[in-house]
Structure formats: structure tokens, C-alpha cells
Amino acid sequence: MGSFGVKESRKAFEGLGGSSPDKLFGGLPTPCYILDEAMLRRNGEILAGVAKRTGCRILLAQKAFSNYDLYPVISPYLDGTEASGLYESRLGAEEMPEKEVHVFCAAYREEEFDELLRYADHIVFNSPSQLDRFGFRAKKAGKSIGLRINPECSTQEGHAIYDPCAPGSRLGTTRAQWDEKMTLELTELLDGLHFHTLCEQDSDALETTLKAVAERFGDILPRMKWLNFGGGHHITRPGYDIVRLERCIRSAQERWNLRVYLEPGEACALYAGYLAAHVLDVLQNGETQIAVLNTSAACHMPDVLEMPYRPPLYGAKEPGELPFTVRLCGSTCLAGDVIGDYSFDRPLREGDLLLFGDMAIYTMCKNNTFNGMPLPEIFVFDNNRKLHCLRKFEYMDFKQRLGRLL
């Protein structure tokens, strides 16, 4: 992880079908996101194949991708949506109706719970105390009830903020917490268990995690109807070991006689979007050549700073690989609003169009108007390679969130 190699970079622009960004998107106002319908379908086909061959069910984790106008494109391949709380549950129920709505939240609130019961089919609790507080009501409303477990098995390095198994984690119930707090009455409420411990990982990490799950919760699982493997499975990434994933799913289903759910976010919309931006200024500070863009890592691709990672960029390579290395920066006041260093075969100039790849996931659902930065418009590149504007933002979108509406 960290930066994108050449192979990933190629995959990230496969949806362009060999045409140049200037030719396809040259006329668009920037910054703008472009959602690629064909790539969403391609991801959907891979996921649906896993579900069909194993009998598991796969949900879209909406926190990664919640552009509901595209739900009709991916829903035929999926069994439903996964939500992080009330609003995403409602969005799933409204925009992917007829399919399952699952929700997990670290802590539900009293004032939202009755409304949540209107939207969610599966409700997953984080702790025995939350289960005790809300579980009986949810059961009475006919919901399928789950508890998130913490198998205490860290399989990733370098992304501590994405490791729910780190010591002291609030996410999921450890076996020690279970033994201390789970009464027979609470245990009988449960239809399933849920774990979510992976982040952009392959199925070898899942296999390791399942061993820990079996070791710690193997005595409970035969009483469950389902086991949710969470997200973080990078199933649609080239080279992902799908055969091993399917082996993991089948063996869990057979061993414990239950149904497996997966709820990937990234894998549903991987490589299915772009962010187009223009160069506003080019400057030099000592050895460093800098281009200031009309977009921002902080506002429009926050995971570039949070994760952090360097997004794929059309036509560019690693720093130093091509003759002209440039640091691409956002136009906010944040000194660290840096997208990354890239090399090009010619110097960048004011007015150049740049196209970042893999910009469907964790972008639009996380973007913000820090510094009063405009929100990028959203376009769809449809199956006939035609562009449609989904949403245009303006000054009022910035203003209305911050105070009194006149």
C-alpha cells in the first residue's frame, strides 16, 4: 500500500478504454468527479460470482460509496447495503429497496433507535451493554440480531487507525468481555456474529483472522444463523486470491452451518471513478517544482492525507522515473495539502488537465468545504460512454451547512 505501482495505475484507468482524459473529459468544468458505470458493473460481476459460487451474501458498505444514483447499476449484483447508523440505513432502504439493510454502529442512541427499526433488517451491536439496552426491542420488531466480536488478531501493519484489533480498541467484543458480560438471556438474543478487522487486504489475512475467530468463538458459532466477515476484502483488485476467499466462506458455512455475509465498500467501487482537476499555477522552490491545482487533498480526497496514500494519476509515474518531477498541491491554506510527487514526460503548465484515478471510494462521501473550497460537480460516464451531470454545487451548499438559512 502507500503508493500505487504502475500495474494498479493501469487498472485505475482501464475504464477510459485507451482514450485520453483530454479527449473524454476536456470539456468538463473542474474540479469534478466522474463515476464510471462500466467499472462498477465489472466489480459487481466479480462480487456476484463469489456470491453465486459459495451461497454467501454480499452487501455494499455505504460509508465507502454512497452515490445512490448508481445503486440501480450495482444492486443487481448485490444482496443489499450495510450502514454505519441511521442515515445510511435510511439511504439503503430508500435507494436499494427490496434488498437487505444491515447496520452496525459503535453505539446507538435512544432517540434514533425506533426510527432505525423502520429501515434495518440486521442490527449489529458493538457490546453486551448495547445489546442489553436495545436488543430485546429489536428482536420484538422482528430484526436479525448480531454482536460484533473482536478476534484480537491484527493482520495489518502501518495503518493503526484502521486496526480495530489494536490493544484498547473500542470496536467489537473480545472473548474476555464476552465471558464477563454475556448472560444466557443475551446470548439467546443473537442470530449472528460480525467481525470487521481487515483493510485493503487479501484473503490470506482473512484466513488468519478466521483461525482466531474459531479459536475464540468456535463454541458459540454453531448456534448462529450467520457470520458477517465485515469489509476490507480487496476482492476486485487485480491479483486478489478469490479461490482462497471462497474456500474460507465455504469452510465457515459448512463447519458452523450458517450463512456468511461480506460487506465490502472499496471492492464495490474500486477504480470506478476519477477526479479531474486543472493546474492553476506552477512554481519552483529550491529543488522542488510545484503545481497548485484547483482541487485539494484535504477537501476532495481526504484519505490521501488520512490513510495516507498517493492516488494514481493518468500519464504520470513515480518521482524521478520520467524527466519532470512535480509536487502536486491543493489550493487551500493547509501546508500539508499535498497530493503527492509525480513525474511527467513534459513540464506541467497552467491550464493542464489532470485525472486522478480510483476516486469513487471514500471521496464524495467524505469531502468537505474547508477553506470555502467548492465541492466538485459529479458526473457519470455511462455504459454508452456518454457523460451526464448528476450534481452541481454552489455557494449555498457551502453556506447552508454553517448557519441560519434565510
CA 236/CA 270 separation, integer angstroms: 7
Residue 379 and residue 31 in contact, taking contact as beta carbons nearer than 8 Å: no
What backbone phi and psi angles, to 5 degrees, belong to 327? -90, 120
* Site for ligand PLP contains 79 (CB under 6 A): no
- When the beta carbons of 54 and 332 are compared against ligand PLP, the nearer one is 54
Q: Which of 266, 337, 358, 377 binds ligand PLP (CB under 6 A)?
A: 266
Distance set, CA 386 to CA 22, 38, 66, 381 (Å): 15, 11, 22, 6
Residue 269 and residue 9 in contact, taking contact as beta carbons nearer than 8 Å: no
* Site for ligand PLP contains 104 (CB under 6 A): yes
Binding to ligand PLP by CB under 6 A, coded x per residue (else -) over 193-212, reads: ---x--x-------------
**For residue 324, how many other CB atoms are within 10 A of its CB?**
14
Residue 290 and residue 284 in contact, taking contact as beta carbons nearer than 8 Å: yes
* Site for ligand PLP contains 61 (CB under 6 A): yes
* Site for ligand PLP contains 230 (CB under 6 A): yes
**Cell representation of residue 160:** 493503526
* Site for ligand PLP contains 36 (CB under 6 A): no
Residue 61 and residue 18 in contact, taking contact as beta carbons nearer than 8 Å: no
* Site for ligand PLP contains 100 (CB under 6 A): no
* Site for ligand PLP contains 64 (CB under 6 A): yes
Binding-site size for ligand PLP (CB under 6 A) equals: 15
Q: Check residue 125 and give left, alpha or beta (phi > 0: left; psi -120 to 50: alpha).
A: beta
Q: Which of 232, 302, 312, 376 binds ligand PLP (CB under 6 A)?
A: 232
Angle at 240 between CA 159 and CA 55, to 5 degrees: 110
Q: What is the DSSP string of 166-183?
A: STT--SSB-HHHHHHH--
**Chain centroid offset of residue 173 CA:** 23
- When the beta carbons of 290 and 305 are compared against ligand PLP, the nearer one is 305
Q: Which of 36, 37, 79, 82 binds ligand PLP (CB under 6 A)?
A: 82
* Site for ligand PLP contains 40 (CB under 6 A): no
Binding to ligand PLP by CB under 6 A, coded x per residue (else -) over 236-265, reads: ---------------------------xxx
Query: 351 to 370, contacts with ligand PLP by CB under 6 A?
Result: none
Q: With CB under 6 A as the contact rule, which of the stretches 60-68, 89-97, 114-122, 325-333 interacts with ligand PLP?
A: 60-68
| Single-letter amino acid code for the residue at 391 | R
CB 201 → ligand PLP: shortest distance, Å? 9
- When the beta carbons of 64 and 291 are compared against ligand PLP, the nearer one is 64
CB 103 → ligand PLP: shortest distance, Å? 9
**Chain centroid offset of residue 94 CA:** 20
* Site for ligand PLP contains 273 (CB under 6 A): no
CA 207/CA 76 separation, integer angstroms: 28
The binding site for ligand PLP (CB under 6 A) comprises 61, 63-64, 82, 104, 196, 199, 230-232, 263-267
